[in-house]
């Protein structure tokens, strides 16, 4: 190749790199490559490749539900941007040949600090739904939190998992229904109850609606919000009088509901949806056993505040008295590491394992958990740490 031709090629590549056409072209090219080259779950390089296949497999309405937030989805973006505020301090010449990801939570061993968040209606992503996720989690000795709007019953999920499963509690707009679900979960042997408190008032989930519009099927019964929503398909509402139930949470719910839950179950009780130091302090005073820092994955409010942004103030307010879990935008092992370094006890993931479920069923869920665990172990080696307990803020560097 002559010099003029080489120079021309360089000019072309510089033009292409600066062109907005490249930004539009590369994602489509990547998705095409994933679809043609990732033929089984073990081929995936990261959870984003699982997302590309899930997008192809899952109907538009269901994928819109899975991927969207509220209004302009900007809080989903905020969750991801929060990780960019922190860099990693790499350490050298430390023996990191043996890295241990195991933790103990409420005295029980888990193979990893990565936990399955509650995600509703998983049979929308794969015919086996939550049971497939449970089998994968059980084989990896990972804790699973089952949604209050599950499409497979708690009893069946526990049988598929074979280990620790917690039950999320949605009170509905009739809080007495939540008490009945809590009593059922207690009787079934759930390891803990997780009261989700971030849906008061609600906001429009516009991406979900747009996805439903693009679907050729009749999606009204599944995706309608407000009067007409069909709770009869949600297995934890079996046997409950559904007259007048149309929302996941009551707008009149207060902290007094914690005491009402204690009346029907002595299981450990966590509150999910905490985003301020003030509410974290109240949770401690009210005697809850743990909290989950969460904005519902950007699906609760358009606050533009990421969960990792508020984690330090919540850790300071709790003062080590109860475990702090967190979810919201976790996609990589580096993300998990940063949350642990800032004081989280464990990290919950939602969309990544559901991408795996939609892509390859049980094997896809296993792949999502494995990939994040592998990335976490690699990050620990780069920072000279061999156990989860050794991860502290000293391994982070604040970026401008």
Catalytic site residues? 296
Give the DSSP per-residue string, 298-341.
GTS------HHHHHHHHHHHHTTSS-EEE-SS--SHHHHHHHHH
Contacting residues for 382 by C-beta, under 8 A, at least 6 apart: 88, 90, 91
Contacting residues for 26 by C-beta, under 8 A, at least 6 apart: none
Angle value at C-alpha 340, between 314 and 359, nearest 5 degrees = 110
- Residue 2, number of CB atoms within 10 A of its CB: 7
- Residue 161, number of CB atoms within 10 A of its CB: 24
DSSP 184: H
CA distance linking residue 14 with residue 18, whole number of Å = 6
CA distance linking residue 254 with residue 281, whole number of Å = 15
Nearest to 199 by CA among 226, 170, 240: 170
Q: Could you identify the residue written with the tokens 């394992």?
A: 353
Contacting residues for 6 by C-beta, under 8 A, at least 6 apart: none
Angle value at C-alpha 163, between 51 and 284, nearest 5 degrees = 85
Residue 321: half-sphere exposure toward Cβ, Cα within 13 Å: 16
| Cross-strand bridge partners of residue 293 | 274, 326
- Are 127 and 133 in contact by the 8 Å Cβ rule? The answer is no
398 dihedral zone (left: phi>0; alpha: psi -120 to 50; beta)? beta
- Are 247 and 226 in contact by the 8 Å Cβ rule? The answer is yes
């Amino acid at each position: 190749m002559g010099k003029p031709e080489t120079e021309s090629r360089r000019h072309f590549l510089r033009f292409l790199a600066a062109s907005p056409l490249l930004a539009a072209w590369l994602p489509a090219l990547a998705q095409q490559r994933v679809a043609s080259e990732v033929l089984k779950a073990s081929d995936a390089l990261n959870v984003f490749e699982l997302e590309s296949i899930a997008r192809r497999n899952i109907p538009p309405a269901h994928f819109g539900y899975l991927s969207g937030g509220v209004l302009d989805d900007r809080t989903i973006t905020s969750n991801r941007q929060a990780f960019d505020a922190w860099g990693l301090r790499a350490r050298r010449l430390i023996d990191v040949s043996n890295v241990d990801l195991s933790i103990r939570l409420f005295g029980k061993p888990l193979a990893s600090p990565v936990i399955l968040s509650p995600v509703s209606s998983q049979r929308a992503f794969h015919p086996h739904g939550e049971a497939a996720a449970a089998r994968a989690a059980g084989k990896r000795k990972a804790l699973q939190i089952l949604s209050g709007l599950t499409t497979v019953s708690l009893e069946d999920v526990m049988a598929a998992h074979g280990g620790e499963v917690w039950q999320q509690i949605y009170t509905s707009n009739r809080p007495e229904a939540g008490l009945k679900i809590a009593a059922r979960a207690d009787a079934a042997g759930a390891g803990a109850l997780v009261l989700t408190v971030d849906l008061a008032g609600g906001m429009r989930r516009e991406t979900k609606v747009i996805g439903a519009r693009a679907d050729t099927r009749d999606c009204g019964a599944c995706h309608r919000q407000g009067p007409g929503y069909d709770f009869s398909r949600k297995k934890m509402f079996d046997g409950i009088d559904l007259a007048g139930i149309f929302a996941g949470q009551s707008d009149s719910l207060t902290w007094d509901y914690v005491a009402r839950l204690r009346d029907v179950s002595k299981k450990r009780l966590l509150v999910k949806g905490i985003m301020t130091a003030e509410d974290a302090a109240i949770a401690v005073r009210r005697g809850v056993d743990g909290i989950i820092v969460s904005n519902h994955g950007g699906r609760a409010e358009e606050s533009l505040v990421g969960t990792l942004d508020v984690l330090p103030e919540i850790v300071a307010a709790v003062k080590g008295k109860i475990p702090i879990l967190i979810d919201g935008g976790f996609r990589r092992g580096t993300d998990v590491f940063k949350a642990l370094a800032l004081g989280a006890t464990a990290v919950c993931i939602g969309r990544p394992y559901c991408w795996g479920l939609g892509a390859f069923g049980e094997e896809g869920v296993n792949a999502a958990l494995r990939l994040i665990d592998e990335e976490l172990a690699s990050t620990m080696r780069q920072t000279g740490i061999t156990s989860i307990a050794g991860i502290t803020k000293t391994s982070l560097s604040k970026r401008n």
